[in-house]
Amino acid sequence: MIDATGHVVMPGFIDTHHHQFETALRSLLADAILVNDGRPESAANYYEWMLQKFSVLYRPQDVYISELFGGLSQIDAGVTTVMDVSQIHHSPEHSDAAIQALRDTGRRAVFGYFEGWGERAQYPADARRIRAQHFAGDDGLLTMVMGAEIDLPGFEAAWALGRELGLPLAMHIVGTFGMAPTLDKLAADGQFGPDCIFIHTTGMSGMAWQKAADAGAHVSLSVPIEMQMRHGTPPIQKCLDLGMLPSLSSDVECTMTADPFTQMRSTITLQRMHANDLALRGEAYPKLMSAAEVIEMATIGGARGLGLDHRTGSLTPGKEADIVLLDATALNVAPLNHLPGAVVTLMERSNVATVLCAGQVGKWQGALLGHDIARLRAELEVSRDHLMAAAGVEQDLFRA
Ligand SMILES: [Zn+2]
């Protein structure tokens, strides 16, 4: 029995796309953008810095501490389920370290088996071992998704293997990466299905969008990141117009926080900004998103997208208890006058009082349980120091 007087009791938040391995490099690329077309830019290029310079230097122990620390931080923020997009599978030991960290975090997690680099990388073939060794049942706190990036050579093999193993397929869709022709072909060939998880989904043709909606594919929006890093305008309205319920995702903490309140506020304000702009110009405009609707995206939308809505995403008898208690008596919230409004427009991580993951208490009355955070932070700093030194990057708190 938990006395929840003065608290909002709601399902835990769900983040459907988070590169947790980047935790050691938090805020390093705050001003960066995502480009891979070789154009000279005034801002740092995420692609060059994170994927070409740093990620190749990760050892299994670096993967482990970043994955664990980032996951605990999200329990603290009320996120009880994540899809971890770990593009760090340079060897089977790297993969095992990521999975062990997700397990040790103690929350629901979908292990996204994406690519790695180097001589010992065994993506995608090692999916078969990983599935058998770590995910033989689909009933634990951890489940698996196949990374299936369509801009990688030979992606068809990953798609085929993922489907053979009964795994959902997840991929980044970024219009500036020139993916539209490949998507159109996959759509026309009937390859889209309810097992497809499209991340960002910028620059996709109208035909492919319609096929995605018809197939029951899922869209994960990383709204603050997409606005910050030039992925393209987040297709919030496109999803709504097609009757699709997207989920929200944090993406990369090297550039933006992974707390769910930032996700929700960015999404609702951007949708309403576009609609309000049309209204002010005297044009027809779509329905304004409500606070309750954006909470749906941050909870049940994510559960459906990850194929976990029979177990989480709502407070429903028979589901597992992924529950957060939010303090509605706090200085920044009281008095409580509108419940969804208070959660979406007023609250932040400090209001997350208690968090249960599958009935186990991970945070209790403001304190994270079961982990020595000071020790883990020291390990994370050692890992950060290794990565920066190995990359030949000087630590500079005011880097331009
Ligand atoms: Zn991503």
CA of 18 to the centre of ligand 1 (A): 7
CA of 173 to the centre of ligand 1 (A): 9
What proportion of the chain, given as a percentage, has pLDDT over 90? 93
CA of 280 to the centre of ligand 1 (A): 34
CA of 85 to the centre of ligand 1 (A): 7
CA of 115 to the centre of ligand 1 (A): 12
CA of 335 to the centre of ligand 1 (A): 38
CB 249, CB 231: distance < 8 Å: no
CA of 365 to the centre of ligand 1 (A): 32
Average pLDDT over residues 284-307: 98
Size of the chain in residues? 400
CA of 50 to the centre of ligand 1 (A): 12
CB 17, CB 84: distance < 8 Å: no
For residues 42 and 396, the model is more confident at 396
Cβ burial of 145 (10 Å; 0-12, 13-18, 19+) is: buried
Q: What is the pLDDT of residue 138?
A: 74
Return all residues near 149 (Cβ < 8 A) that are at least 6 apart: 114, 115, 155, 158, 171, 172
**In this structure, which amino acid lies at residue 115?**
E
Residue 92 has pLDDT above 80, yes or no: yes
The span from the CA of 269 to the CA of 48, in Å, is: 31
CA of 286 to the centre of ligand 1 (A): 28
CA of 169 to the centre of ligand 1 (A): 14
- Bridge-based pairing of strands 352-357 and 323-327 is antiparallel
Alpha-carbon distances of 120 from 62, 129, 293, rounded to whole Å: 17, 15, 45
CA of 191 to the centre of ligand 1 (A): 22
**In this structure, which amino acid lies at residue 187?**
A
CA of 278 to the centre of ligand 1 (A): 31
Beta bridge partners of 199: 172, 220
Give, for 161, the enclosing helix (H) or strand (E): helix 155-164
Pick the CATH number of 13-312 from 3.10.580.10, 3.30.230.10, 3.20.20.140, 3.30.930.10: 3.20.20.140
Return all residues near 50 (Cβ < 8 A) that are at least 6 apart: 22, 25, 29, 252, 254
The span from the CA of 183 to the CA of 193, in Å, is: 13
Q: What is the pLDDT of residue 41?
A: 72
Residues with CB under 5 A from ligand 1 (ion): 251
The token pair that represents 94 in the structure block: 């790297």
The span from the CA of 157 to the CA of 143, in Å, is: 21
Residue 37 has pLDDT above 70, yes or no: no
CB 207, CB 184: distance < 8 Å: yes
CA of 34 to the centre of ligand 1 (A): 11
Q: What is the pLDDT of residue 351?
A: 98
For residues 281 and 400, the model is more confident at 281
CA of 333 to the centre of ligand 1 (A): 32
φ/ψ of 18, rounded to 5, equals -145, 120
The span from the CA of 48 to the CA of 51, in Å, is: 6
CA of 251 to the centre of ligand 1 (A): 5
Residue 40 has pLDDT above 70, yes or no: no
Residue 118 has pLDDT above 90, yes or no: yes
CA of 220 to the centre of ligand 1 (A): 10
- Reply yes or no: is the peptide bond before residue 260 cis, omega within 30 of 0: no
CA of 107 to the centre of ligand 1 (A): 20
CA of 279 to the centre of ligand 1 (A): 33
Q: What is the pLDDT of residue 190?
A: 97
Alpha-carbon distances of 349 from 104, 105, 164, 326, 352, rounded to whole Å: 22, 18, 40, 9, 5
CA of 222 to the centre of ligand 1 (A): 8
Average pLDDT over residues 83-108: 97
CB 293, CB 264: distance < 8 Å: no
The span from the CA of 341 to the CA of 289, in Å, is: 12
Mean pLDDT of the chain: 96
CA of 336 to the centre of ligand 1 (A): 36
What proportion of the chain, given as a percentage, has pLDDT over 70? 99
**In this structure, which amino acid lies at residue 211?**
K
For 156, other C-beta atoms within 10 Å of its C-beta total 12
Q: What is the pLDDT of residue 38?
A: 67
CB 108, CB 310: distance < 8 Å: no
